[in-house]
Amino acid sequence: MQPGNDTWISGFLLLRFSEEPEVQPLIFWLFLSMYLITVFGNLLIILAVSSDPHLHTPMYFFLSNLSFVDICFTSTTIPKMLWNIQTQNKAITYEGCITQIYFFTLSAVLDVFLLTVMAYDRFVAICHPLHYTVIMNPWLCALLVLMSWIICLLNSLLQSLMVLRLSFCTNLEIPHFFCELNQMIQLACSDTFLNNMVMYFAAVLMGGGPFTGVLYSYSKIVSCICGISSLQGKYKAFSTCASHLSVVSLFYCTMLGVYLSSAGTHSSKSSATASVMYTVVTPMLNPFIYSLRNKDIKRALKAFF
């Protein structure tokens, strides 16, 4: 990669949340704890689903995939940040930065797609219960997950290749704890019009499309639940999608809050701090939401241990 001043870029500097030395151990242990909880919690979900034959259903098949993606999501950014704090070094190589962008974009968009697929699964289960096993057959479930992976892999590849065409000059400081796509584009000293167009088009297509699907699915679910005459029937129908609705609300609300706060403050540091909510906190809370609100998961975990 050759920038405008004819020197080769060896890497970038990832700025920390705080430069005060006494705060670094606190940040290190806080993020290490959240990372271990995230990995351990999501691994428990995967083990519970795989070990219990009663959980070999479309809903839990998608849930185990979501847990795997959440592990990848946090593993893309947190270990590097912890290593930098431990070694008192802010540097990340150019290749490492591109790799982070690729896998972070892949995991983030996969999260969105899987949440959308899970919303469709709950829609079929509640609104078309008699045809659920026919519609959500194993072939369709595998196809939905496979198509999600293929689309997200191609999108991440495109975004990463678009970054490769950029040139960088003297300002190599990224005001984030990981290499974020938008921050990288802002650092470039070459023309970024095409990069911005591709990034915003992908954001609308990959984010707006699934979000519309989630809203449509839950609008139909609410309509079906309201049409149920008995109170017990309404509660049973709502309980089948309560955990997923909680995860969807947490993910989209935190992400929306991050971008609204960053747009309002115009501060990269505040945006980096706020982004911790959906990059670290949400994947950590997902296993708790599913295990605490789901009797099947709790039963499977008890049987496993």
Write out pLDDT tens, residues 204-216: 888 888 989 999 9
Per-residue pLDDT reduced to its tens digit, 62-107? 999 999 999 999 999 999 999 988 888 888 888 999 999 999 999 9
Per-residue pLDDT reduced to its tens digit, 14-40? 876 666 777 888 889 999 999 999 999
Its CATH architecture, for the domain 11-304, is Up-down Bundle (1.20)
Alpha-carbon distances, residue 271 vs 177, 178, 183, 212 (angstroms) = 11, 12, 11, 25
Strand partners, 91: 13
Report the run of H or E that residue 131 belongs to, with start and end. none
Q: Which residue has the tokens 């470039």?
A: 188
DSSP letter assigned to residue 238: H
Please, are residues 91 and 13 in contact by the beta-carbon 8 Å criterion?
Answer: yes
What is the value of pTM for the model shown? 0.88
Alpha-carbon distances, residue 296 vs 33, 75, 213, 240, 276 (angstroms) = 27, 28, 27, 11, 30
pLDDT band at 139 (very low <50, low <70, confident <90, very high): very high
Domain boundary assignment for the chain: 11-304
Alpha-carbon distances, residue 90 vs 12, 84, 85, 87, 178 (angstroms) = 8, 6, 8, 9, 10
